């Protein structure tokens, strides 16, 4: 059975992949090895997980404005996530995906999910994102 949720597009695109659900926010700056797509933040609960080609599901980013460049670099190298689902707007994550799309032609849709749908989304093993204009759908 397919379930669709409405979401808000922060960066347009589409993706379908296995999920990587983060239990804590992640700073890409110092937290992601852009060469491998591996989480290297030694205090992060998902340390050593690889986000390459997966849909990253996290409540929010954890700052450092330089995180945008790390995410964009990972996307340029092909080691970044296939898409990102957030619960809270995050300008740093959004800018990183926008820069990768504009400079490198690497699409990584970023969408904003609702709190009401969050538990179901984080429990899914895979997701499909279709993000266009302002409206997006997340399909389980």
- Residue 49 CA to residue 40 CA, distance in Å, equals 8
User: Which residue in 14, 27, 64, 66 is the catalytic one?
Assistant: 64
Give catalytic status of residue 68 as yes or no. Answer: no
DSSP per-residue letters across the chain: ---EEEEEEEE-EEEEEEEEE-SS-B-STTTEETTTTEE--TTSTTTT-B-TTSEEEES-B---TTHHHHHHHHHHHT-S-SEEEESS--HHHHHHHHHHHHHH-----EEE--HHHHHHHHT-SEEEEEE-SSEEEEE-
Question: Which residues are marked as active site?
Answer: 64
């Amino acid at each position: 059975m397919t379930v669709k949720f409405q979401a808000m597009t922060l960066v347009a695109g589409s993706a379908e992949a296995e999920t990587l659900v983060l239990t804590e926010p992640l700073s890409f700056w110092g937290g992601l090895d852009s060469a491998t797509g591996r989480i290297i933040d030694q205090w992060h609960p998902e340390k050593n997980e690889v986000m390459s080609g997966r849909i990253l599901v996290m409540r929010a980013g954890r700052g450092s404005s330089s995180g945008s460049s790390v995410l964009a670099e990972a996307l340029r190298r092909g080691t970044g996530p296939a898409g990102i689902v957030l619960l809270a707007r995050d300008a740093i994550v959004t800018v990183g995906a926008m820069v990768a799309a504009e400079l490198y032609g690497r699409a990584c849709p970023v969408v904003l999910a609702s709190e009401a749908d969050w538990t179901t989304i984080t429990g899914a093993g895979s997701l499909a994102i279709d993000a266009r204009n302002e409206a997006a759908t997340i399909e389980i």
